[in-house]
Amino acid sequence: MIIPCIDLMGGKVVQLVQGREKALEGGTPLEMIERFAAFPQIQVIDLDAAMGKGSNDDLVALVASRAVARVGGGVRSGERARRLIEQGAFRVIVGTAAFDRPVLREIADAVGPERLIIALDSKKGKVVVKGWQEATEFTAEEVIGRLEPYCSGFLCTYVDKEGMMQGTDLNWFRRLRATTKHELTAAGGISTLEEIRELQRLGIHAALGMSIYTGRLSSDELALLNG
């Protein structure tokens, strides 16, 4: 499955390079929902909430009520996760909070592991948290097995190539595929149909941002590839 991304910052749809530099702004969230109508799911991340710099709650709720959306960014309590589901989110994505075991357990209890996706984002080989601003001491491969009981899937972003359209690290995704039978979604630098086909062959979904916003990959081609 191919999943277009809507990243929110300062009330706008944006795309960042490696989670830091804003590279472009998209249309309004409603325009993006219409543009991505042919895709079975979309991914919505509140970047301000992820970085602890405010939130875009109204826009998140709007998108979640209009599309089949997996939603993340600043989900650090069971109450927050439950509210997103009540607003219409199909599934909830948890990043930083996944590494606080009592909080993760609270979130999983609140919405159920089947509605929870854990983000394992890697930069220079290590998992990064707090909006990719802080590095941990471990790799995604080391922790993925321990997190399986709390979720039904993992969103794995190769941050080193995020937003750069230089290709992603397929070998990293192959290693991750070998460590879990849970659903995997790849993100970060995916910029060719060949990469998407290889991820599909591995049984891994592809979350796309910059490549679809810039037109490097056309929505029509991707919708066909989605089958």
- Known catalytic residues? 7, 121
User: Is the sign of the CA dihedral 206, 108, 45, 87 positive or negative?
Assistant: positive
Residue whose entry in the numeric block shows the structure tokens 């991914």: 43
Residue 41 and residue 68: Cα distance in Å, rounded? 5
Could you give the angle at the alpha carbon of 30 between the alpha carbons of 26 and 34, nearest 5°? 90
Residue 130 and residue 4: Cα distance in Å, rounded? 22
The pair of three-digit structure tokens given for residue 156, joined into one six-digit string: 């794995």
Strand stretches in the chain, DSSP E: 2-9, 12-17, 21-25, 42-46, 69-72, 91-94, 116-123, 126-129, 134-135, 153-158, 183-187, 204-208
